[in-house]
Structure 1
Amino acid sequence: MSSVESLKQIYEANGQSQVFTFFDSLSESSKAALVQQLSSIDPERVSNIAKSVLSTTPDSSSETEKISPLPASASASLLTASADEIAQWTTTGHNLIAENTVAVVLLAGGQGTRLGSSAPKGCFDIGLPSHKSLFELQAERILSLQKLVSRITGKVNVVIPWYIMTSGPTKQPTVSFFRDHDYFGLDPANVTFFEQGVLPCIDNQGKILLESPDKVAVAPDGNGGIYRALVDQAILPDLTRRGIKHVHAYCVDNCLVKMADPVFIGFAASRNVNVATKSVPKRSPIENVGLIVSKDGRPAVIEYSEISAEMAHRTVTAKNREELAFRTANIVNHYYSVEYLTGIPLWRDDYLPYHVARKKIPTVDLVTGQPVSPATPNGIKLEQFIFDCFPQIKLSRFANLEVLREDEFSPLKNKAGTVGEDDADSSRADLLKQGKRWLEAIGASVAPGVVGVEVPPLVSFAGENLEQFKGKSFSSEIELGQEAKI
């Protein structure tokens, strides 16, 4: 009882005593559950965050005057880089992977709700001939790259550890999915699951909301929660124990992602940067995407609405090509040096802002105790974004690599048939078209009207090892796994 009273006093001192509104009427088991949850929350931190986000007013100054494209010194592009440059980055990447100094971190906290699925998004089948899930495609890419690097460098026992960040609702289904599929051929010792944090939902006055009389309403803390989770879930010590020096982080919903991409790793390492990003060129001046820019002389990601129409349409000429000046679309595909990540405890609370997402949050009426299902947004979910740390980094320790969208970025955001892009249909088509390009490049042919061919990651990581299909004709959308010599 004394511990409960102490907990009540802490919440009352921070203006959050409403969480105990129904406490005396709860069963003993419900009381215990609520106390356990409240003990895991820092009400002072929540109240301070609430005060900060609710008191923030839009900057009245002209933001566009502070924003400029990334300087050439912090940028490179696979669209214009020489073959020698790309070969050098690739070799560097292969060598670093062969030394077992590269790991990948997957942001996999999202559910497939918008896709019409109750499973984690990584379990989703985009409709390939093989019916492989996103998780399976990515696991096979790791296996394929390990074998490729071993073959090229002569090093044995090449290992790329995979750290998978889930959320509360997705952790157990994700772990079960991997176990049910025998980790897709990967060694379970090299696959680590960890969970991002949550924050209480608050109302428009900064008060913590109750989901029910015995439970606080909480929500994942955004993809920026990765930094706190790397510390709280003891991932950083594991990286150090393994001798990892380079980390590639990415989102689960991209079927074309190249995990631990040797070109990207080599590019970032050769520039000795703390953080690097991949970007793709905007489809058009008005595409609604976040942009990687220089803001106040530091790297940043801004919303498309933060630049003027003139800036959005502004063009420049580079290497005899006319292109948009502000074209670097953010695809949440990042490189980190482990040296930089080990400093997270020093900057995570000082440099990462919280963002407001106004949502319809099921709650309970504090007077009647009856559940409330709001028809309009009634509360706030607090989020951090993974790129919010960028402004603390000097441009000299940051770099961006522009890549081809058709080769590396096809996000799965929408249910097929609802928006017409960035859905399972477009993801499926983009992956099949990539296989078609790879096969045609070595002298195979794909019949007119056939979207493409599925080239499994175990057959080819990035278009290599396909000479066996030279001269072959493909008349249907098939998967090559059964007839390929791996």
Structure 2
Amino acid sequence: MEQMSFKKLKSLLEEHGQQHLLNFWSEISEDEKKVLVKDIANLNLSQVIACFEEAMSIHQNKEKLPDDKIKPVPPNVMESISNLTSDKISFYENLGLREIANGNVAVIILAGGQGTRLGVNYPKGMYNINLPSNRSLFHIQVLRIRRLHDMAREKFGECKDLTLYIMTSDATHESTLRYFEKNDHFGIDKSKIVIFKQNTFPCFTFDGKIILDEKYKISRAPDGNGGLYEALKDKGMLKDMDERGIQSIHVFSVDNVLVKVADPVFLGYCIARSADCGVKVVDKRSSNEAVGVVCQVDGLFKVVEYSEISNATAELEDENGLVFNAGNICNHYFTATFLNEISEKHNNKVDLHIAKKKIPFVNENGTKCQPSVANGVKIEKFVFDVFKYSQNFVVWKVLRENEFSPLKNSDLDEIDCPLTAKRDILNLHEKWLVDAGATNVDGDVEICPLLSYSGENLAHIAKDNCFKGPLCLM
């Protein structure tokens, strides 16, 4: 029986040019053979190889978009918070808080990434940027949710609370579960937190061979933040949302220290516009900043990478500055109806992308190797590639200094790193205190999210007072 199983396995792999996966069959234990057989059996080889070939073909044939194909976001689908009256902002905020109070809102944190570039081997959401409170990204974000609950109760008398979904990966799932359990879910009702894993995809060499991570184990990587849609369906999250009565969903990456979690103004804007899909953007720092740009291509809304746009297009200006200025920050609104439609009609059409990476592998001698240069590809999907399916798309422009400071690199890079994340959040908190009447703020003065979500509720402690850090105001 075992020999027949091996023969069938070998025949299947030979048919798809992947027989090297059995190179060490005679060297591995019976338990390890079971792991490898299961690993291979769980692959739809025809499908994953077709995906690899499609992704490679798209990558190799990718050229800069013709200048006449790309158009900026039309003014009628975009509003900027900088241009709105306080009354209009309050109107949107009230709509969003009402949605939260009714229990119709969910947050999805994209938290599958490890802190490899930060120099740590644990989930990025657990990273401490050395604020006076020593809170992690996860901790800060959950406290912002708790403050929203308080704000909704203050305004409407009661709040059913929002539901927090956290999408992890194989590398971050168990650590994230333990972290939330150890910290008693940071004061959130355990029933309101759902942690689920995204799917994985085999890693390939450049010539299409599936990489072995161990003699008995295929190398896999998370399928990108665009794997969200498949995971929501496969892991039963869409059904769970339906049972909870979720209608509005806020999706963002865990690594933005300034993220306004379930931002009621953003929610209210999208609800007021009857949007099925919305995106937050910031002004680009310059025409050559390497960020994706929200725009239209052939009449469909997309995010295009800086490398896909000619310099002439990127540098175009009008009376307001850069024409293509809507920098994408991985911060999105979706209706539950839209997510279900993506799952049912479009999930298999989400674009595939490749990332060239240094992928550990087992060489022909069976030795585990750590490459010093990129030796293979990971296949990924991007969360924004569903914009083109939206029937009512809207864009919300916010101020970078208020809402976007990503944590991606180590301090050696001096950009998008712990030092800049800490600096940006403390600068924002200093501004809040000064705006609320503080006469002086000196040193590292942090504001607990439970005290203030976005600068409100500070006059009673700030007016005519001085603050000296290190200090966390509670």
Q: Identify the TM-score tier after normalising by the shorter chain.
A: over 0.9
For residue 132 of structure 1, what is the aligned residue in structure 2? 135
For residue 433 of structure 2, what is the aligned residue in structure 1? 439
CA distance in 2, matches of 1:181, 1:359: 34
- Whether contact under 8 Å (2:64, 2:310) holds in the other structure is no
- Residue 454 of structure 1: SS of its match in structure 2? strand
- Residue 138 of structure 1: SS of its match in structure 2? helix
For residue 39 of structure 1, what is the aligned residue in structure 2? 41
Distance 1:45 1:155, change over 3 A: same
CA distance in 2, matches of 1:358, 1:300: 23
Q: Quick one: which of 384, 390, 394 aligns to 1:393?
A: 390
- Residue 314 of structure 2: SS of its match in structure 1? helix
Q: Quick one: which of 372, 376, 383 aligns to 2:373?
A: 376
- Residue 63 of structure 1: SS of its match in structure 2? coil
CA distance in 2, matches of 1:474, 1:375: 48
- 1:457 to 2:449 alignment: yes
Distance 1:82 1:311, change over 3 A: farther
For residue 357 of structure 1, what is the aligned residue in structure 2? 355
For residue 407 of structure 2, what is the aligned residue in structure 1? 412
For residue 104 of structure 1, what is the aligned residue in structure 2? 107
- Whether contact under 8 Å (1:197, 1:225) holds in the other structure is yes
- 1:480 to 2:473 alignment: yes
1:407-466 alpha-carbon deviations (Å, 9 max, x no partner): 1111111111x122211111111111111111111211224xx35521110001111111
Distance 1:129 1:10, change over 3 A: same
1:355-392 alpha-carbon deviations (Å, 9 max, x no partner): 111222222234x3333443332211111111111223
- The structural deviation recorded for 1:245 is 0.4
- Residue 415 of structure 2: SS of its match in structure 1? coil
Q: Quick one: which of 457, 460, 463 aligns to 1:468?
A: 460
CA distance in 2, matches of 1:216, 1:451: 50
CA distance in 2, matches of 1:195, 1:350: 19
CA distance in 2, matches of 1:376, 1:410: 29
- The structural deviation recorded for 1:4 is 5.3
State, as a whole percentage, how many aligned pairs show the same letter: 38
Distance 1:52 1:96, change over 3 A: same
Q: Quick one: which of 76, 83, 88 aligns to 2:86?
A: 83
CA distance in 2, matches of 1:439, 1:25: 65
For residue 484 of structure 1, what is the aligned residue in structure 2? none
Distance 1:407 1:325, change over 3 A: same
- Whether contact under 8 Å (2:303, 2:384) holds in the other structure is yes
Q: Quick one: which of 227, 230, 235 aligns to 2:229?
A: 227
CA distance in 1, matches of 2:63, 2:431: 49
Stretches of structure 1 lacking an aligned partner (at least 5 in a row): 482-486
- Residue 458 of structure 1: SS of its match in structure 2? coil
- Whether contact under 8 Å (2:64, 2:309) holds in the other structure is no
- Residue 343 of structure 1: SS of its match in structure 2? helix
CA distance in 2, matches of 1:371, 1:476: 49
Distance 1:132 1:34, change over 3 A: same
- The structural deviation recorded for 1:77 is 0.5
CA distance in 2, matches of 1:295, 1:459: 43
Distance 1:338 1:401, change over 3 A: same
**Which amino acid in structure 2 is aligned with residue 399 of structure 1?**
V
1:204-254 alpha-carbon deviations (Å, 9 max, x no partner): 221211122211111111111111111111111110000000100001111
**Which amino acid in structure 1 is aligned with residue 377 of structure 2?**
I
CA distance in 1, matches of 2:63, 2:143: 50
CA distance in 1, matches of 2:184, 2:290: 39
- Residue 278 of structure 1: SS of its match in structure 2? strand
CA distance in 2, matches of 1:126, 1:25: 45
- Whether contact under 8 Å (1:74, 1:398) holds in the other structure is yes
1:37-86 alpha-carbon deviations (Å, 9 max, x no partner): 22222211111112212333425675322111100121111011222321
Q: Quick one: which of 411, 423, 427 aligns to 2:421?
A: 427
- The structural deviation recorded for 1:306 is 2.1
- Whether contact under 8 Å (1:64, 1:306) holds in the other structure is no
For residue 20 of structure 2, what is the aligned residue in structure 1? 18
CA distance in 1, matches of 2:163, 2:122: 24
CA distance in 1, matches of 2:62, 2:124: 36
Distance 1:365 1:429, change over 3 A: closer
- Whether contact under 8 Å (1:228, 1:348) holds in the other structure is no
For residue 346 of structure 1, what is the aligned residue in structure 2? 344
Distance 1:96 1:211, change over 3 A: same
CA distance in 2, matches of 1:262, 1:209: 45
Stretches of structure 2 lacking an aligned partner (at least 5 in a row): none
| TM-score normalised by length of structure 2 | 0.95
- 1:30 to 2:32 alignment: yes
For residue 182 of structure 1, what is the aligned residue in structure 2? 184
CA distance in 1, matches of 2:460, 2:120: 38
- Residue 115 of structure 1: SS of its match in structure 2? coil
Distance 1:241 1:178, change over 3 A: same
- Residue 292 of structure 1: SS of its match in structure 2? strand
- The structural deviation recorded for 1:118 is 1.8
- Residue 335 of structure 1: SS of its match in structure 2? strand
Distance 1:438 1:355, change over 3 A: same
- Whether contact under 8 Å (1:16, 1:43) holds in the other structure is no
- Residue 169 of structure 1: SS of its match in structure 2? coil
- Residue 199 of structure 1: SS of its match in structure 2? strand
Q: Mean Cα displacement is larger for which, 329-338 or 460-469? A: 460-469
- The structural deviation recorded for 1:9 is 4.0
- Whether contact under 8 Å (1:361, 1:373) holds in the other structure is yes
CA distance in 1, matches of 2:101, 2:424: 30
CA distance in 1, matches of 2:189, 2:274: 31
CA distance in 1, matches of 2:8, 2:345: 30
